[in-house]
């Protein structure tokens, strides 16, 4: 338990930051799932459009340090490869 006033404040801030990060990460995963769902449905045009929406979200998550840059690159590469293979 935090004893000093500054430690209590950091604990409060950590809770707020965690809630914000969880929400941002959820949005990112939803965008990625939309691309995968479009790929499974077999609609290449819809998959490409969903990928265009997901790509900035993935890059934004890297900028906010929610995910590592290599993980973002891996997601984008694999999604793009699956779309091209359709």
**Distance of alpha carbon 8 from alpha carbon 12, whole angstroms:** 6
End-to-end, the C-alpha distance of the chain in Å comes to 54
Q: Do the beta carbons of residue 81 and residue 37 sit within 8 Å?
A: no
Give me the CATH code for the 5-84 domain, please: 1.20.58.110
d(CA 25, CA 9): 24
Contact 71, 45 (CB under 8 A): no
For residue range 12-22, what is the model confidence (pLDDT) as tens digits? 999 999 999 99
Per-residue pLDDT reduced to its tens digit, 33-76: 999 999 999 999 999 999 999 999 999 999 999 999 999 999 99
Task: Give the CA angle between residues 79, 33, 20 to the nearest 5°.
Answer: 115
Domain boundaries, the chain: 5-84
Confidence at residue 67, expressed as pLDDT on a 0 to 100 scale: 95
| pLDDT for the residue numbered 2 | 81
Determine the Cα angle at 4 with ends 2 and 5, to 5°: 105
């Amino acid at each position: 338990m935090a004893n000093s006033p500054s430690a209590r404040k950091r604990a409060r801030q950590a809770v707020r930051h965690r809630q914000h990060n969880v929400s941002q990460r959820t949005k990112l995963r939803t965008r990625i799932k939309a691309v995968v769902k479009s790929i499974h449905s077999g609609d290449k045009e819809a998959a490409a459009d969903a990928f265009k929406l997901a790509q900035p979200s993935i890059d934004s998550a890297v900028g906010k340090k929610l995910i590592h840059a290599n993980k973002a690159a891996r997601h984008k590469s694999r999604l793009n490869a699956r779309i091209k293979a359709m």
